[in-house]
Structure formats: structure tokens, C-alpha cells
């Protein structure tokens, strides 16, 4: 009986400790989420207040098999184009996933912008922007951007601006929420909590290199240097 009572007492203590650890972890996760949001949102401005920059970084999103951009990506590109037209930066840097021959975000993004009338020389493609962290890292180290305007939806933009600032860039953001994206947004916002915690650790603690680096391609030159077709 004593052994049973002792075991029950030990289990109760274990449960209490486990619950306390879970509460602490949950609090830490939410605190990091809020910190990233606060830092990022403080540099999100409206178009008129955005200072001029070296480049406008448009972050990639889903592209359909026929090369058509998804609604979220279309809105990002449209906002990036408007900033370019207003002279906020002389170059556009489109960064996305082109890790497979049968999936290509960046050429679809460049085609969209060229169809709007942007000269190809003003559009740089980052074919290895496999994540927000890698897009920002490569913007700094490959394309030598120092002052940047980042364009994406607001829920995502706060993290992107936080990352850029943590990596030493003078970064500002313009939100591209031009439509209601439906029920998927609830999922994206929940997933963003985990993404913010991961990228906080990546930018502030571990600082891993991206999947690919390589020779520098300064964004101040000709965007055709990034063409692969």
C-alpha cells in the first residue's frame, strides 16, 4: 500500500510539474509572438509615408501549374508595382520557390510585372527564396540590399520586417491585403505563431545559412543577370 501511495504521490507531482512546464512554454511562445508582431508592425507604413529604398522585395506565394499567380501573390505583386511606379525604389526583387523545374514562382512574378510594363532590367529574381528567412538573408547577402521595402499580407509582413531588422537591414513594410482571402486566413494566422517563434530563434540565436548562397548579384545593376530562360 505504501508503494502504491508513494507512486500516486509521485504521479501527482509529475502532472503538476508537467502542467507548469506547459504553461511556461505556452507563455514563452505567446510572448515571442507578440514581440515579433510589435517590432514588425512599428515599421509597417502606408504608401505615402514609406521612404525611398534600394529595392522593393515582393515575397512569393502559390503559383498555379499554368503560371497564373494566386490571389495573394497577385495582390503582393500589384502593391509592389504601385510602389515602383511611385518611385519608392528603382528595382523590384521577387523572391520565391523555384526549387523544381515544374514549379516556378519567380518567373511567374517577373512575367506579371513585365506585363504591367516594368522593364526586365529592373526586376531581379531570387530563385532560392524557399522561406521568409532565406528571402531576407539572400536579399542582404546576395543582392546587397541595405534599405528595403517588403511587400506581403499584413499577418506575414510583421515577421518579414522583424527578420530584416534583426539581420541589420533598414526595412519597412507595406501590406498588400487587397481582398478577403476567406477561411484560409484563420489557418495562416495560427500557423504564423509557430513561424514567428522559429524565425525569432533563427534570426536572434542560431543564424543558420540559407539553403543556397553563391556569388553576389547587386540589385543596383541589371536584373537580367538573374534570368534563367
**Please, are residues 134 and 106 in contact by the beta-carbon 8 Å criterion?**
no
**Please, are residues 151 and 56 in contact by the beta-carbon 8 Å criterion?**
yes
pLDDT confidence of residue 137: 98
Q: Quote the CA–CA distance of 163 and 40 in Å, as a whole number.
A: 8
Global pTM value: 0.94
User: Does residue 20 surpass a pLDDT of 90?
Assistant: no
Considering only residues 42 and 13, tell me which one the structure prediction assigns the higher pLDDT: 42
Each residue's pLDDT tens digit, 83-96 = 999 999 999 999 99
Each residue's pLDDT tens digit, 58-72 = 999 999 999 999 999
Q: Quote the CA–CA distance of 130 and 152 in Å, as a whole number.
A: 15
pLDDT confidence of residue 229: 82
pLDDT confidence of residue 1: 58
DSSP state of 70: P
**Please, are residues 212 and 128 in contact by the beta-carbon 8 Å criterion?**
yes
Q: Is 143 exposed, middle or buried (0-12, 13-18, 19+ CB in 10 A)?
A: buried
| Sequence-ordered list of residues with C-beta below 8 angstroms from that of 188, at least 6 positions apart, any chain | 155, 156, 181
Confidence of residue 175 (pLDDT cuts 50, 70, 90): very high
Domains along the chain?
Answer: 39-226 (3.40.50.620)
Amino acid at each position: 500500500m505504501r508503494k502504491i501511495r508513494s507512486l500516486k504521490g509521485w504521479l501527482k507531482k509529475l502532472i503538476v510539474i508537467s502542467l507548469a512546464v506547459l504553461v511556461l512554454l505556452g507563455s514563452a511562445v505567446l510572448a515571442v509572438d507578440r514581440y515579433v508582431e510589435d517590432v514588425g508592425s512599428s515599421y509597417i507604413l502606408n504608401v505615402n509615408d514609406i521612404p525611398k529604398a534600394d529595392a522593393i522585395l515582393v515575397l512569393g506565394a502559390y503559383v498555379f501549374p499554368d503560371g497564373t499567380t494566386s490571389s495573394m501573390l497577385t495582390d503582393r505583386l500589384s502593391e509592389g508595382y504601385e510602389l515602383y511606379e511611385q518611385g519608392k525604389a528603382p528595382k523590384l526583387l521577387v523572391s520565391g520557390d523555384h526549387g523544381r523545374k515544374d514549379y516556378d514562382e519567380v518567373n511567374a512574378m517577373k512575367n506579371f510585372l513585365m506585363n504591367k510594363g516594368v522593364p526586365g532590367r529592373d526586376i531581379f529574381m531570387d530563385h532560392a527564396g524557399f522561406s521568409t528567412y532565406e528571402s531576407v538573408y539572400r536579399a542582404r547577402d546576395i543582392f546587397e540590399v541595405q534599405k528595403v521595402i517588403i511587400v506581403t499580407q499584413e499577418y506575414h509582413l510583421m515577421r518579414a520586417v522583424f527578420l530584416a531588422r534583426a539581420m541589420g537591414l533598414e526595412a519597412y513594410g507595406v501590406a498588400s491585403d487587397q481582398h478577403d482571402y476567406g477561411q484560409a486566413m484563420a489557418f495562416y494566422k495560427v500557423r504564423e505563431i509557430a513561424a514567428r517563434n522559429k524565425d525569432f530563434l533563427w534570426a536572434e540565436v542560431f543564424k543558420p545559412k540559407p539553403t543556397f548562397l553563391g556569388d553576389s548579384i547587386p540589385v543596383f545593376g541589371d536584373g537580367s543577370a538573374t534570368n534563367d530562360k
